[in-house]
Structure formats: structure tokens, C-alpha cells
Amino acid sequence: MAFTEQERADLTSRADEIIARYPKPRSALLPLLHLVQAKEGFVSTDGIAFCAEQLGLSEADVTAVVSFYTMYKRGPVGEYHVGVCTNTLCAIMGGDVIHDELRRHLGVEGDEPTPDGKVSLERIECNAGCDYAPVVMVNWEFFDNLTPDSAKELVDGLRAGADIAPSRGAERLVTWREAGMILAGYPDGQASTGQTAGAPTLAGLRIAKENGWERGEKAARRAPDETPARSASEETSSATRERS
């Protein structure tokens, strides 16, 4: 989509701010792509041309990056883009079933949005939420331990405009374009709100503390007169020195 003069002026001002954060201009390509995606809802041919112009790159260079990273979309997606993790653990725990059920429930095939423009759907790779599998993400925010029924309730609520909060992290769910601005480097102040790590995530740390394994504490608790056992190689080395 072609940018109006005002839109181009706004984008250029933001682009200048982003580029100034990096020692080399081309390092700003990823956030610039999120910037144009926040403006358009996806990365169009005009968005690619804009990024190339700002960074002195060829449009082919920019297109190669856009086509490599799946977070950049080449066509419109929903106001709430739903990603169902179907990587190994989530798939085993029901991710594949959730994805297939949502496809039928929403009546969509690819990334295209529902007719009301509210929701789109895709399979995603692991998002490091395996301790809450199966995990669904909406605009890159976590919705944990879902089932086919709860996933349907989630997308129905999104389409109805319900006030829905992520399971962890941000207290408020942002729209697709708002998420793009955050990824471009303009945070919304929610990074430190909400629960970021729950009991499943912290289980290993809890066990380590209970058993004195944290920061080498178990070794420090050895009795003062307790001499650690020597390994076989140390015993052999000691005997050799004594014979010599």
C-alpha cells in the first residue's frame, strides 16, 4: 500500500530515531520492518522499498529478510493473530488438535483473517513455554494450558471484543499493530507488569534451593574436618610422587 505524505513523514521521523540507536544503519532493519508492519498491518512492497531507502539497501536484500522471518507478514492478518504451538511437546499435549479445531471453528485456511478482520491463525514453532503446554500466543502474548474448548472460547472472546488478558506477562492484550510498535522499539510500559514466571517455570529453582544446590551451597556445607575423597587419578599421582 502506498504511503500518504503524512504517513511517510511520520515513518521517516521514527526511522531516524531507530537508526540512531545502532552503530551501523543496516542493523536497524528488523525494527524498521516492525515499524512499517505496525503502520500497514503487514509488510507491503512499499514498506520494503521504504526500509531499503532508509538504510541504503537493495529491495532484494530487504525482501530476503522479510521472507526469512515468519513474524513479518506479506498480507493482512487479524487484529489478533493467534499462533498455536505445534512443536514437539505442545503437539503431544494437544497442540495439533487445538490448531485443527480452530481452523474448522474459524473457517480459515492460511494466515488470512476472519471476515470481520478480528482473528487470524497460524502454526508457530516453540516459544519457550513448554512448561505450560499446550501454549497458544495472541500477538506474541502467552495463553497457557489450553484445550480445544478453551481455545475456541478465547477466539470467540477476541472476536466479540471481550476484555481478555494474557496468562502471563502483560496485563493488557495489545492489538497486532500495537505489538508491531513495541517490537520496533517503542514499549508500552507493560514489560514489568503481570506474572512473568509461575510455579512450573520456577520448579527447578525451588528444588535446587530445597536441596542446597544453589550457588554451590551444598559443597560449602561440608563439615570442617571432612576431607573430600580423592579421585583414582589423584591417588595414582600421589603414589608415584611417593615412590620417586
CATH number for the domain spanning 21: value is 1.10.10
Residue 229 lies in a domain: no
Q: Which residues make Cβ contacts (< 8 Å) with residue 240, sequence separation at least 6?
A: none
pLDDT tens digits, one per residue of 61-85: 999 999 999 999 999 999 999 999 9
What residues make up the domain containing 146?
80-175
**Confidence (pTM):** 0.81
Q: Which of 127, 145, 175 is the last residue of a domain?
A: 175
Q: Determine how β-strand 141-143 pairs with β-strand 119-124.
A: unpaired
Q: Are residues 111 and 33 in the same domain?
A: no
Query: Is residue 180 assigned to a domain?
Result: no
DSSP 113: P
The CB density around residue 73, as the number of other CB atoms within 10 Å, is 20
Neighbouring residues of 117: CB distance < 8 A, sequence distance ≥ 6: 76, 78, 79
Give all strands (DSSP E) within 88-148, no chain letters.
119-124, 136-138, 141-143
In a domain, 146, yes or no: yes
Examine the domain organization and report whether 34 and 91 are in the same domain.
Answer: no
100 & 63 share domain? no
Last residue of a domain, one of 130, 159, 175: 175
For 129-184, what is each residue's pLDDT tens digit? 899 999 999 999 999 999 999 999 999 999 999 999 999 888 899 999 999 999 99
Residue 127, judged by CB atoms within 10 A of its CB (0-12, 13-18, 19+), counts as: middle
**How many structural domains are present in the chain?**
2
Distance of alpha carbon 16 from alpha carbon 26, whole angstroms: 12
